Amino acid sequence: MPVSQSPTLFLSSGADRTELLRSLAALGQEDFAQAQATDDTVRQAAGNPLRAGIIADSSDELAAKISQLRERLGSDANGPADFRTPSGVYFGDMRRAGGIGKTAFLFPGFGSQYPGMLGRWRRQISGFDSFFAELDSLAGAYGIGSGQPLDRSGETGRGGASQTMTPEEQIRRIPACLLSSVLLQETLKELGVSCDMAMGYSVGELAALICGGYIKWDDRAELLSLLQRFGHCPLWADDINTKKAFRRIAVNGEFRGALKQVLEAFSGRLSLQFDNSTHNAILYGKPQAIEAAADQLNREAGIVTMALPYMEPLHTSWYQAQAEQLAITLADLAVVPGNVPLLSGTLLDFFPVGHKRVILERAGHQWTHTVRFHEALTRLTREGVRSFVEVGPGAMLTGFVTDTVGRGKALAVATDKQGVEPVRQLQTVLAEFFLRGAPVRPDGLRKRLALSSSLPEAVSMPERPDQSRSQANALS
């Protein structure tokens, strides 16, 4: 029974159900290592609307999952257009489920970080550890504490340790969060997964600006130095102790109508900090206003709220002084026209072409305004986006997509998920995109795994757009 050191991805396809079943049967007869998905597997699937994917650790597991898939396909001819199981079995009929459509990369920020984030990535994916080690070294040189995203055990916070990070810890790890997005986007490129447009959530908009080519850097050292600027606590947190001055709560459920009334009733004392999804939002405000709002929402609409850990008054009018400090930091960077249409999560419009001043104004808008992620997702779907990829730590934004757009109406997949090893999560991305007809490159993942981590691949500045191509036309 051959057992792989890491999970192995298998892909299969057919012009119709009979051909797919025949292809799966043949897959089970092949040598385990030789049968794994390759770029040739994807090319040979061109034109086949029925597709399947399996992630397995051994030949016995592969055989069991092939049997499971064949049984379901053989007995349920009128079944769903696609399905997937937590164990790693995927099926899609492109004739009914549709193709990949446009793809949007979503870059996470505050709220997505967790202790031990990307620990296994540093150990398993070539190039990650050396980048983070160098980022740690810069943090120490600047005397601001470690920017590393984990304790060296790699799994801090998953085995009983607290999952809550203090505001100071979250700020110190902003550079690591941003670097995670840069490295994951580079990895996705090698896997044949790219985006048509992008959006950042909170601080994730900085990652989107960097990955989208709006903030320029020339080499690895300059990139890491750029990222480390955002790990200084005084940049984000004000000198006075505001922990007793403000509180915040999560609002869940059918709250839309009641929430509007509450915000009007407590105007000036209460702010909508994050409008995350159809059924989730976060309120921020003065303690008495928060308590009264929670009571009113529960009394009049039966809505249960939940107290959240403290964070700075980011995305509210109370953050004006710090927003000015952030504006000074951003103005010192090399800002250029980007090469990926980038949607502002607060203005709900795309970043402009050219004019550094206008780009900086749009980038600075979010610090004192509500993150309107719920509305931004709706805007992206109107632009033709049918596939969303969360590029960074955690899977919080993926859940917001599912809640807002609807399960089955769009693909929402994360590149990092707590409790799932990195290789398996990237194989999930490959399988999901393969089901929808995307020309993914499984060989790119094997290349990443085979390279020595002592010889990391360089990360390159996103290519500049063709000067003759109008980005404005691309957004229309």
Predicted local confidence at residue 74, as pLDDT: 76
Tokens coding 7: 């999970």
Tens digit of pLDDT for each residue in 80-112?
889 999 999 999 999 988 889 999 999 999 878
Maximal C-alpha separation, the chain: 69
Strand partners, 407: 410
Tens digit of pLDDT for each residue in 114-140?
777 777 787 888 778 888 888 877 765
- Long-range contacts for 302-308 (Cβ within 8 Å, ≥24 apart)? 302/253, 303/251, 303/252, 303/253, 303/254, 303/255, 303/258, 304/252, 304/253, 305/249, 305/250, 305/251, 305/252, 306/249, 306/250, 306/252, 307/247, 307/248, 307/249, 308/248, 308/249, 308/250, 308/282
Higher-scoring residue by pLDDT: 16, 407 = 16
Predicted local confidence at residue 23, as pLDDT: 94
With a cut of 90, say whether residue 400 has pLDDT above it.
yes
Predicted local confidence at residue 146, as pLDDT: 44
- Dihedral of CA atoms 50, 55, 60, 63 in degrees, nearest 10, equals 0
Give the mean model confidence (pLDDT) for residues 141-149: 47
Predicted local confidence at residue 143, as pLDDT: 47
Tens digit of pLDDT for each residue in 76-86?
667 788 999 99
Mean pLDDT of all residues belonging to the chain: 85
Confidence of residue 346 (pLDDT cuts 50, 70, 90): very high
- DSSP for 113-154, written as a single string: --TTTTHHHHHHSTTHHHHHHHHHHHHHHHTS----SS-TTS
